[in-house]
Amino acid sequence: MALPANHPAGRAQAKVMNRFDITKRMVARLHHDEAVIGGIGYTNFDLWAAGRRPQNFYMLGSMGLAVPIGLGVALAQPRRKVIALEGDGSILMQLGSLATVAARAQKNLAIVIMDNGAYQITGGQKALSDQGADIVAIARGAGLSQSAWAADESAFEELIELSLKEDGPWLIGCRIGPEKPADTTERDPPRIKDQFMRGLGVKT
């Protein structure tokens, strides 16, 4: 395990960042055709807005499945790094998937959680993450020992670099604010899938 020593002990100590800003910082560090699975909602919209990549898969439903879809991609292409980008409300629906990833010890998978403590897209209702549930602590309890809150933007970049360089699985928790997303994902599932499969070299 190569976690930086200075990560916050809990959610309350992590800086509240801007989702679109850190999504762009993450995408800017992808230089090896890494796959990114965008969970639904504003997380997905900002991934779309951060620049379309053929290695991005944009979910449009199946809430909570960014991590399982990412695990499937990682199992199929073990030499490619895969990032599952998911919201707090979404991962709370599918906590068992964290234990599955831990049990598989999937080296090429990193999970990034955008945690605003709310179901922002449906009107900002409080999520359990704003009522005491610490997703990084839950992930550690599920067996994902390489789990950390990003203290701030530079710590986030450091954790992303680490997850791309060293064996995973990783989980990076990011506290984010209530900003609206920068764009909206185009809702065209067959096109999204086709481009993703070409981006992964499955179709030519």
| Residue 189 is a binding residue for other proteins (CB under 8 A) | yes
| Residue 92 is a binding residue for other proteins (CB under 8 A) | no
Q: Please, which residue, 51 or 72, has the CB nearer to other proteins?
A: 72
Q: Please, which residue, 17 or 139, has the CB nearer to other proteins?
A: 139
| Residue 105 is a binding residue for other proteins (CB under 8 A) | no
- Count of residues binding other proteins (CB under 8 A)? 39
The kind and range of the H/E element at 191 are: helix 189-199
| Residue 14 is a binding residue for other proteins (CB under 8 A) | no
109, burial (CB in 10 Å: exposed 0-12, middle 13-18, buried 19+): buried
Minimum gap (Å) between residue 135 Cβ and other proteins: 16
Buried/exposed code over 135-169 (b: 16+ C-beta within 10 A; e: otherwise): bbebbbebebebbbbbbbeebbbbbbebbbeeebb
Part of the chain binding other proteins (CB under 8 A), chosen from 97-105, 120-128, 144-152, 162-170 = 97-105
109-115 and 118-119 beta bridge pairing: unpaired
Q: Please, which residue, 155 or 192, has the CB nearer to other proteins?
A: 192
What six digits make up the tokens of 204? 């030519």
Q: Please, which residue, 74 or 172, has the CB nearer to other proteins?
A: 74
Those residues whose C-beta lies under 8 Å from the C-beta of residue 27, and which sit 6 or more positions away, are: 36, 47, 50, 51, 53
Q: Distance (Å, rounded) from C-alpha 69 to C-alpha 12?
A: 29
Part of the chain binding other proteins (CB under 8 A), chosen from 60-68, 117-125, 148-156, 164-172 = 60-68
CA distances from 178 to 12, 187, 192, 202 (A): 16, 23, 27, 37
Q: Which of 2, 9, 28, 60 binds other proteins (CB under 8 A)?
A: 60
Q: Please, which residue, 142 or 160, has the CB nearer to other proteins?
A: 142
Provide the mask over 28-57, with x wherever binding to other proteins is found by CB under 8 A and - wherever it is not: -------x-x-------------------x
The kind and range of the H/E element at 91 are: helix 88-93
Question: Is residue 139 a contact partner of residue 84, using CB atoms and an 8 Å limit?
Answer: no
| Residue 121 is a binding residue for other proteins (CB under 8 A) | no
Minimum gap (Å) between residue 136 Cβ and other proteins: 19
